[in-house]
Structures are given as C-alpha cells and as structure tokens.
Amino acid sequence: MSAMNQFAIETPAPEFEVAAWLNVRQPLSLAALRGKVVLVYAFQMLCPACVTHGLPQAKKVAASFSRNEVEVIGLHTVFEHHAAMGQVALEAFLHEYQIGFPVAIDSASGTGPVPKTMAAYGMRGTPTLLLFDRAGRLRQHHFGMLEDLQLGAQIAALLQPTPAGSDCLDGRCRIAPHA
C-alpha cells in the first residue's frame, strides 16, 4: 500500500495533555483505551481542509466501525488564531457540524503557539491523523489528507488478531512480544 507515513513504533506514545474534554462523560486516555484501535484526528475548527475533508472522514470512520473496536477522537490543536478558537467557539462548531465523537482540547504550551500534545507528537500542522493499535502503540502518523480506501485498510489491518509473536502492517511484519 502506498503513501503511508510509517512511524517508529518502538517509541512509547506520549499520553494526551488535555485542557478539556467535550462530548464525553469522563476524560479519556490512551492508557484506558488499550484493547481498541484508536484514531486521533488533530484539527482546528477554522482549518478548511479539516472542515471539508478530515472531520467528515472521521465521522465516517465512527459510523463504519463498532465503537467497541475503534475509538475516534478529535484533538483540537490550535496553533494560530487562538482568540478565534476558544472552547466556547469550539462547542458552537461541534454543535453546528453535528460532531458527536469525543473531542479533546490540547493544552496550551505557555511558552509558544503550539499546544503540548501537538508538540509532543511533532505534528507539522492540521489535519494530522494518528492511528494507535490495540496495544496503544502509534502505528500511523499522517499529515494532510488520506484516501478513505487507505484509511479503511489501515484500520482493518490493526483490527485483525495476529499470530502470537508477530506484528504486521502494510505487508511488513516484525517479531516482537505483545505488550
């Protein structure tokens, strides 16, 4: 499969640093989501490609897979126009665009425009898509748009039960003990 940004999966995935959670009863964490495949969509509510492509795709993933298997999370990573994209504005946006999946507001850095989780993952902009396997390891890190066909394939690859001792994605397998 072409055009994927493979990420070094040895690195432990940084936990989210979140100022507030929306559309949830209680805060989520990567740790608590072990056992599910997790799709994180980093976006800004005033980023055109997020609005016209990324978030509709995220909604489609949430509608296509069982939430017992795949968790879709929006991560609001504001790195520009901060005054325009505060929590009140985001809540209005989620309401108008009928986005019902959990959304985390990335914590402000205190020292610069890029918020903490965005910095920890080295994201280059929005939209950015992160895909974690059932063991909580980061398996895809993609900046920009991704075809539905490819995203569906990547998610499904992570959903499969794998033979003990192997760890495969995109046709490459490595021998590794499961977490």
- The residues binding a copy of itself (CB under 8 A) are 1-2, 46-48, 51-52, 57, 60-61, 63-66, 69, 80-81, 83-85, 88-89, 91-93, 95-97, 147-157, 159-164, 166, 168, 171, 173
Report, in Å, the least distance between residue 52 CB and a copy of itself: 6
Decide whether 171 or 177 has the Cβ nearer to a copy of itself.
171
How many CB atoms within 10 Å of residue 5? 12
CB of 75 to a copy of itself, least distance (A): 18
For residue 130, how many C-alpha atoms fall within 13 Å in the half-sphere facing its CB?
28
How far from 58 is each of 40, 74, 80, 112, 160, CA to CA, in Å? Answer: 9, 8, 22, 28, 20
Q: How far is CA 72 from the centre of its chain?
A: 7
Task: Kindly state the tokens that stand for 62.
Answer: 């949430």
Tell the smallest beta-carbon distance from residue 14 to a copy of itself (Å).
27
Distance between CA atoms of residues 147 and 22, nearest Å: 27
Identity of the residue, 106 or 167, whose beta carbon is nearer to a copy of itself in the bound complex: 167
Residue 67 DSSP code: T
Q: Which is nearer to a copy of itself, 16 or 36 (CB)?
A: 36
70 versus 104: smaller Cβ distance to a copy of itself: 70
Which residue in 126, 125, 106 sits closest to 116, CA to CA? Answer: 106
Q: Which is nearer to a copy of itself, 8 or 164 (CB)?
A: 164
Q: How far is the CB of 111 from a copy of itself (least distance, A)?
A: 22
